[in-house]
Chain A
Amino acid sequence: MPHDATVRERPAADAVATLVARLVADYGERAVTNAVVCEQHGHGEGLADPAPPDVVVYPRTTDEVAAIMRLCHAARVPVIPFGVGTSLEGHVAALYGGVCLDFSAMNRIVEVNADDLDCRVEAGVTREQLNADLKGTGLFFPIDPGANATIGGMASTRASGTNAVRYGTMRENVLGLTVVTADGRIVRTGGRARKSAAGYDLTRLFVGQEGTLGIITEVQLRLYGVPEAISAAVCQFADLRAAVHTVITAMQHGIPVARIELLDDVQMRACIAYSKLDRFEARPTLFFEFHGTAAGVAEQARMMEGIALEHGGSAFHWATAPEERSKLWKARHNAWYAALSLRPGCMGFSTDACVPISRLADCILETREDVAASGLVCPIVGHVGDGNFHLLVLYDPRDAAERAGAEALAKRVSLRAIRMGGTCTGEHGVGIHKLDALVAEHGEPAVAVMRAIKRALDPHDILNPGKTVPAAP
């Protein structure tokens, strides 16, 4: 079925059965049809609407992925790549069944080129695994979405995270890729050269395509020298406005802060209880991290503290010892679980608005009023240095009206960000939840081009169908 003719249908049951039998024959115990395993692979985090695949295969090499892809292409059966399932937008749901490719067995670090500050890893390598492996080289990979996601998944969704303000997103840090195309050919894009003006930028086309244009099997990444000095600080504010304006002023001064995280009073209340942050109050709070030379870090921090004090912030609570720093960031990374504990028995999902920094205060404060009017409990966290913030929307799954209200609120957040010149997704991707917002953000003509690209690279719509680009109206 052409991608934009109709909404896709499930492939014929006998085609699937024949394919599954072939995969089981070829891959033995690495092709699993067990219902529990399929169920586990049918959803990520966030809104839980599982859609299990028919079979989960654990490839070991790019050649195996290509061979599987050729079979699926011939059988016209969908293929969905799976990292560790931390996606928040339903990317891994097998909406039309098919083959889930679990990359956990492709977790080798292929090469580390310390001189050139780059490395090549298989798609199933996780962020923490890579950084553990880099210990001792003096290098690190900075992109940190919080979850211990795979590099393949991070590239697929164009992830970023808490320190994008300093190091950029996956867009800036993927130098090249190995991708298996819909018809099972292997393409290597980009390379080790730091810049290239030859050909179209297929690397960046495949970064953020969410498995809909090709299956990423290897990633060439940019690495950074571990900064000579790192320090972290926490500063609390009387109100949200003051905290946000502190961030805006810091950005305006061009202070190269490595991370600035905002937690509102609701989120702080949750984190204090969940992560035992006894020193702090349930007030809007900024977490900072500074990277650089010892002198540079001290200077950045001094300037930052000056700005915060001008906006009525508290004196900085310092955390220079690594244990103390990691306790703070752990609390930040656990914000999601802390938030869920605010309403036991409830579920949650996250919005992902990102706006130009000049509109950040408007966007967050309007959103805060919207939340108050909705009657929902929605803590706010944000990588505010780059204009990205998340509303953790809590809802009672047994209450259909509440879920509908929660989804309506999330949609308003997306549209508000778009109205302010921003995006509905700063880092989580489109998946299945933001298909409408994509059209609102880019307009139908631009989406038509995306659709034409999808059709050209995946004419039979077998690559993660139903995601990223909406069917034609």
Chain B
Amino acid sequence: MLAPTLQEKLAAILPPQALLTTPEDTKPYECDGLTLFRELPAAVVLPETEAQIVAILKACRAAGVPVVARGAGTGLSGGAMPHKDGVVLSTAKLRKILSIDPLARTAVVQPGVRNLAISEAAAAHGLYYAPDPSSQIACTIGGNVAENAGGVHCLKYGLTVHNVRRVRVVTIDGEVIETGGDALDSAGYDLLALVVGSEGLLAVITEVTVKLTPKPQQAQVALAAFDSVEKAGAAVSAVIGAGIVPGGLEMMDQAATRAVEAFVHADYPLDAAAILLVESDGTVDEVAAEMAEIRRVLTEAGATEIRVSKDEAQRLLFWSGRKAAFPAAGRISPDYYCIDGTIPRKALPRVLRQIDAWSAEYGLRVANVFHAGDGNLHPLILYDGNAPGEAEKTIEFGDRILELCIEVGGTVTGEHGVGVEKLKGTCVQFTATELLRFHDVKAAFDVDGLLNPGKAVPTLARCAEFGRMHVHGGQIPHPDIPRF
């Protein structure tokens, strides 16, 4: 329930159809792509201008009401899950591409613009926006910035943080701030990097200047089959170790290729224990030379079969299977749970072996797809939410995978964000000193904690509670913080 005074204020800011307060109207906003967690908000607002956003934030700030920003709701960690007493601020109506500067290779867009729409608009200039999360047909650039989204091409072209030049944001106090700049760098503290990946905790994004990348003259992908997952993992290191920076370097295990093949017919070798997709892009000569080198390295690494795409249609076909992996998993299992850990590449064989062992131990199937080039794993744990105890087992299995990722020097989330899902993992990954610095940063932007409360950065008390339950190797996490 929204306090009547706040409701009045919001009604004065927005047209009636842009302020939703009944459960029937707010229901579609109860969760994002992580459907395990749901909550109905007190209200949903759909502003069309930055001025409205400023006014909404000032009103919520004055009323002490939480605000959760939301793009397309495709997030996988619950970052856009509503707060029950709060307002969901949807950027769905802010979807104009404001300008494209083909010479500077930048585009200025509103936050509700879809990721793929930017590339479509830039195509006329021979340019595109490089980060390509699998949800790119639906997800918005505002959400991409909030989550620091990646994609299959970020090995070579970087994450969102590497591809955003400037962001315009509104703070909870209603101040409009621009961070970054149109040039290569800007002066002072890197507030832009803080906002990118801040999961809506620091400010609400109202405009984004993205960097555009020239479309390569030529792109080819090699599909390599291996008779063991470990060999495929070692081949990944061999490719990188040979000094090759592929446009994309993806791996799928047999469970994943079989699921996908039934769905999109990407023509994958189904008897292979694992496949790699290795893309080369650049000028025609460069691609020819690099592809020859890739072939050599993959052959030496024990590939049982290598196919190189002959034309653009075949290249897209090879990629279609990888991009459809999640929906395909949804077809072979009632439910699946996607993990997002990232590890140093050389730990790959060890982590895969362990996941395999746990899969047997829990009796839960796992389909592995991942951005192997940057060590970002996406094991999909297949389970049946209706089978008693299976969801709990799945969560425990997932937590163990994430803790293993931290143990080998990695992180609990490569690209999906912490949201509500990985708060526990965050307690394990970061020291109390680092968490305190996070809270310092948060306080500099939002001292009352009204923006997306309860997400992304756990309170120390929460970590302490978790620490009580979870003693790792006889070590209590955060021994230096007060217990109760």
Contacts A192-B409, A198-B418, A430-B188 aside, 15 further interface pairs with beta carbons under 8 A come to A169-B185, A193-B411, A195-B150, A195-B414, A196-B413, A199-B438, A200-B197, A204-B194, A205-B189, A208-B189, A256-B282, A423-B181, A426-B183, A446-B177, A469-B189
* B193 and A201 contact, CB distance less than 8 A: yes
* B440 and A453 contact, CB distance less than 8 A: yes
B345 cross-chain contacts in A, Cβ below 8 A: 115-116, 194
* A442 and B444 contact, CB distance less than 8 A: no
* A425 and B187 contact, CB distance less than 8 A: yes
* A296 and B283 contact, CB distance less than 8 A: yes
- Interchain residue pairs with CB less than 8 A apart (13): A115-B237, A116-B346, A200-B442, A207-B190, A226-B243, A296-B283, A357-B103, A421-B182, A423-B186, A448-B175, A449-B171, A449-B191, A453-B189
With A205-B194, A445-B176 as contacts: A198 and B185 at CB distance below 8 Å: no
Inter-chain CA distance A50–B243, complex, in Å, is 45
* B104 and A456 contact, CB distance less than 8 A: no
Q: Does B391 contact A (CB under 8 A)?
A: no
CB interface residues, B 416-457, toward A, < 8 Å: 416-418, 422, 425-426, 429-431, 433-434, 437-438, 440-445, 456-457
Residues in chain A within 8 A of chain B (CB atoms): 113-117, 138, 158, 160, 164, 168-169, 171-172, 181, 185-189, 191-202, 204-205, 207-209, 213, 224-226, 228, 248, 251-254, 256, 292-296, 298-300, 354-359, 386-388, 417, 421-427, 429-430, 434, 437-438, 441-443, 445-450, 452-453, 455-457, 468-469
A117, A169, A430, A446: the one within 8 Å of B179 (CB):
A446
B171, B410, B444: the one within 8 Å of A193 (CB):
B410
**Which residue from chain B places its CB closest to the CB of A426 in the assembled complex?**
B185
Residues in chain B within 8 A of chain A (CB atoms): 101-106, 147-148, 150, 154-155, 158-159, 161-162, 171, 175-179, 181-191, 193-194, 196-198, 202, 213-214, 237, 240-244, 282-283, 285-286, 288-290, 340, 342-346, 373-376, 409-418, 422, 425-426, 429-431, 433-434, 437-438, 440-445, 456-457
* B154 and A198 contact, CB distance less than 8 A: no
A426 cross-chain contacts in B, Cβ below 8 A: 183-185
B179, B375, B437: the one within 8 Å of A181 (CB):
B437
Of B150, B193, B343, B417, most A-chain CB atoms within 10 Å:
B193
Inter-chain CA distance A224–B252, complex, in Å, is 26
With A199-B418, A358-B101 as contacts: A187 and B431 at CB distance below 8 Å: yes
B103, B185, B418, B443: the one within 8 Å of A423 (CB):
B185
**Which residue from chain B places its CB closest to the CB of A385 in the assembled complex?**
B184
* A195 and B286 contact, CB distance less than 8 A: no
A171, A300, A449: the one within 8 Å of B445 (CB):
A449
**Which residue from chain B places its CB closest to the CB of A201 in the assembled complex?**
B193
Minimum C-beta distance from B128 to chain A (A): 11
B147 cross-chain contacts in A, Cβ below 8 A: 197
B344 cross-chain contacts in A, Cβ below 8 A: 113, 116, 192-193
Minimum C-beta distance from A380 to chain B (A): 17
Q: Would you list the 4 A-B pairs with minimal beta carbon distance, nearest first? A: A225-B243, A254-B214, A204-B193, A358-B103
**Which residue from chain B places its CB closest to the CB of A388 in the assembled complex?**
B184
* B283 and A423 contact, CB distance less than 8 A: no
B101, B187, B431: the one within 8 Å of A438 (CB):
B187
* A450 and B415 contact, CB distance less than 8 A: no
B150, B158, B283: the one within 8 Å of A299 (CB):
B283
**Which residue from chain A places its CB closest to the CB of B186 in the assembled complex?**
A423
Minimum C-beta distance from B82 to chain A (A): 21
* A443 and B191 contact, CB distance less than 8 A: no
Inter-chain CA distance A422–B209, complex, in Å, is 13
**Which residue from chain A places its CB closest to the CB of B240 in the assembled complex?**
A117
Inter-chain CA distance A453–B445, complex, in Å, is 8
* A296 and B411 contact, CB distance less than 8 A: no
Inter-chain CA distance A116–B238, complex, in Å, is 10
* A193 and B342 contact, CB distance less than 8 A: yes
* A423 and B375 contact, CB distance less than 8 A: no
**Which residue from chain A places its CB closest to the CB of B244 in the assembled complex?**
A225
With A356-B104, A387-B184, A441-B187 as contacts: A195 and B376 at CB distance below 8 Å: yes
Minimum C-beta distance from A137 to chain B (A): 11
* B188 and A447 contact, CB distance less than 8 A: yes
* B376 and A194 contact, CB distance less than 8 A: yes
Minimum C-beta distance from A272 to chain B (A): 29
Of B179, B182, B185, most A-chain CB atoms within 10 Å:
B185
Inter-chain CA distance A187–B431, complex, in Å, is 8
Inter-chain CA distance A282–B133, complex, in Å, is 50
A207 cross-chain contacts in B, Cβ below 8 A: 190
B190 cross-chain contacts in A, Cβ below 8 A: 158, 171, 201, 204-205, 207-208
Minimum C-beta distance from A292 to chain B (A): 7
* A198 and B429 contact, CB distance less than 8 A: yes
Inter-chain CA distance A459–B353, complex, in Å, is 48
Of B154, B376, B422, B440, most A-chain CB atoms within 10 Å:
B440
A228 cross-chain contacts in B, Cβ below 8 A: 243
B413 cross-chain contacts in A, Cβ below 8 A: 196-198
With A117-B240, A252-B102, A421-B182 as contacts: A199 and B342 at CB distance below 8 Å: no
* B185 and A194 contact, CB distance less than 8 A: no
Minimum C-beta distance from A254 to chain B (A): 3
* B410 and A171 contact, CB distance less than 8 A: no
A256 cross-chain contacts in B, Cβ below 8 A: 282
A437 cross-chain contacts in B, Cβ below 8 A: 187
* B183 and A354 contact, CB distance less than 8 A: yes
Minimum C-beta distance from B139 to chain A (A): 14
B105 cross-chain contacts in A, Cβ below 8 A: 251-252, 357
Inter-chain CA distance A228–B416, complex, in Å, is 36
A456 cross-chain contacts in B, Cβ below 8 A: 440-441, 443-444
A226 cross-chain contacts in B, Cβ below 8 A: 243
Inter-chain CA distance A254–B211, complex, in Å, is 13
With A194-B376, A386-B184, A449-B444 as contacts: A457 and B437 at CB distance below 8 Å: yes
Minimum C-beta distance from B153 to chain A (A): 13
Inter-chain CA distance A299–B430, complex, in Å, is 47
* B285 and A295 contact, CB distance less than 8 A: yes
* B197 and A197 contact, CB distance less than 8 A: yes
* B286 and A172 contact, CB distance less than 8 A: no
Inter-chain CA distance A228–B242, complex, in Å, is 11
Minimum C-beta distance from A94 to chain B (A): 21
With A172-B162, A438-B188 as contacts: A421 and B441 at CB distance below 8 Å: no
Of B188, B438, B444, most A-chain CB atoms within 10 Å:
B188
Inter-chain CA distance A296–B346, complex, in Å, is 29
